[in-house]
Structure 1
Amino acid sequence: MEQRKKVAIIVAGGSGSRMQSAIPKQFLELAGKPVLYHTIAAFADAFPDMKIVLVLPEAHFATAEQVLSHFAVRPDITLVKGGETRFHSVRNGLQLAGNQAVVFVHDGVRPLVSTALIRRCYEAALTHGSAIPVTDMKDSIREITIAGNRAVDRDKYKIIQTPQTFLSEIILPAFDLPYDPLFTDEATVAEHMGHFVHLVEGDEANIKITRPLDLVIAAALLAER
């Protein structure tokens, strides 16, 4: 299988509003280190030649440097100023991706992403051009309609995770598009360019830290590893 350079765009722009915390959620403590430390470490550990681009508000640069001080050996990481939306933040990060790369775009507040998932996304992107990790829906879901609501078949739906992973020749031109509010993630941007997005099996433990309960769950999952 061909080898390509690997670039992880980690987007860490959250404010912490749903956590009822003055500290942005990516900097909250998880198992003795900031949430963002665990996220960065996962990518640094997945491939020895991983280049990491951390996109966050300029006001958080100093705090991010404190996070990086936890590493015995600083990973290959560059800090980039975020934009007004996720789309603009990712676009800023992609400017450092370069050509002939596999590009991972990951939420800074998904600290439990596994080496296995990162490698699975890399290999699938080489074969299919993209790799979007998904998990099955376990709950029953209902659609809100004009008339009220109705049950829908959950087997027709998937829960989307990150890292959303692409060959650079697919994702870089896609982010030259003008911003559209319908661009909720990188997959929707690639689709807008006419690309089919390939789904891969995600990981139940790859949770997103958005509420206080998520930190409790993440700490329990980390303790099991």
Structure 2
Amino acid sequence: MTSTSTSALPVSSSAAVPRYAILVAGGSGSRMGADRPKQFLNLLGEPVLLHTLRRFTDPAVQLAECVVVLPAEQFATWEQLCQQHHVTIRHRVVAGGETRWASVRNGLAELKQYPAGLVAVHDGVRPLVSAVVIEQTFAAASQHGAAVAAVAPKDSVRGLAQQGSYALDRSRLRLVQTPQCFELNLLRRAYQLPELPTFTDDASVVEDLQPIYMVAGDYRNLKITTPEDLIVAEALLRAEQGAQQPQ
């Protein structure tokens, strides 16, 4: 099942390679202790997912197609929210699967009519991703085939052992974010393979086929998972909006 709103996405004729995005939003909100899925939580007057959708359909991103993956039982809620907030951004809505892997595969299937291009997979509950991070990740995927946004850990990191724990060199570690961008047919080939328990994100699905290039992410590109995350996101968004106001 798909649904599409009315106005076309802005696509620049200067874009050398078509770009697509799959926004995966399958959360239940259980860790938030909320009465609704976290992608529908209110963030400064609008659903979290709407903020994310706007980031990817900004004209600067030059996106040709955007697919939003939701649990089928949430379609009606999303449609109501789009009507309530007068959303006219064209996007496709497809049903997710039981796992994130299955949801991304369903999103990819919605792009089957496109022979080639670059595709970004992004968490629907990362509403503060910047156009710079999106652009740099797309650009790196264009050059390297597979690229992910990531940041260095700020805290000391330890691994677990049967007895106690051991220190890890955090300079050799990165915290992976989204977007994760890939050559479209590379991601298709990766998702033709059987699902494995080790698949925690799209990079882990692809890495047996292609080395994963990392680009600098942004600590503000947080994933809203707990109530504290929403408080931080609200503060960051207010600061961002304030910086955009004319002085």
TM-score (norm 2): 0.87
How many pairs does the alignment contain?
Answer: 224
Mapping of residues 122-133 of structure 1, within 5 Å: 122-133=138-149
Q: What residue number does 2:67 align with? A: 53
1:76 aligns with 2:84: no
For normalisation by structure 1, the TM-score amounts to: 0.95
Q: 2:220 aligns to what SS in structure 1?
A: coil
Q: Structure 1: which 5+ residue stretches go unaligned? A: none
Task: Tell me the amino acid that sits aligned with residue 201 of structure 1.
Answer: A
Question: Equivalent residue for 2:57?
Answer: 44
Fraction of identical pairs, as percent: 46
User: After TM superposition, which residue ranges in structure 1, 4 or more long, deviate above 3 angstroms?
Assistant: 70-73
Residue 51 (structure 2) pairs with residue 35 (structure 1): no
1:189 aligned counterpart, secondary structure? helix
Which blocks of at least 5 consecutive residues in structure 2 are unaligned? 1-13, 241-247
Q: Say if 2:224 is the partner of 1:209.
A: yes
Matched, 1:175 2:191: yes
| Structure 1 partner of 2:137 | 121
Whether contact under 8 Å (1:50, 1:76) holds in the other structure is no
Q: 1:62 to 1:187 in 2, by over 3 A?
A: same
Aligned CA RMSD, in angstroms, stands at 1.5
Task: Name the structure 1 match of 2:125.
Answer: 109
Report Cα offsets for 1:185-205 as digits up to 9, x if no partner.
10011013x310110110111
CA distance in 1, matches of 2:110, 2:73: 20
The answer to whether the 8 A contact 1:102-1:166 is kept is yes
Distance 1:39 1:207 in 2: 12
Q: What is the alpha-carbon distance in structure 2 between the residues aligned to residue 145 and residue 170 of structure 1?
A: 36
Change over 3 Å in CA distance of 1:2–1:50 after alignment to 2: closer
Task: Tell me, yes or no, if the aligned pair for 1:36 and 1:67 is still in contact at 8 Å.
Answer: no
Separation in 1, partners of 2:239, 2:210: 39
Aligned partners of 2:152 and 2:173 also within 8 Å: yes
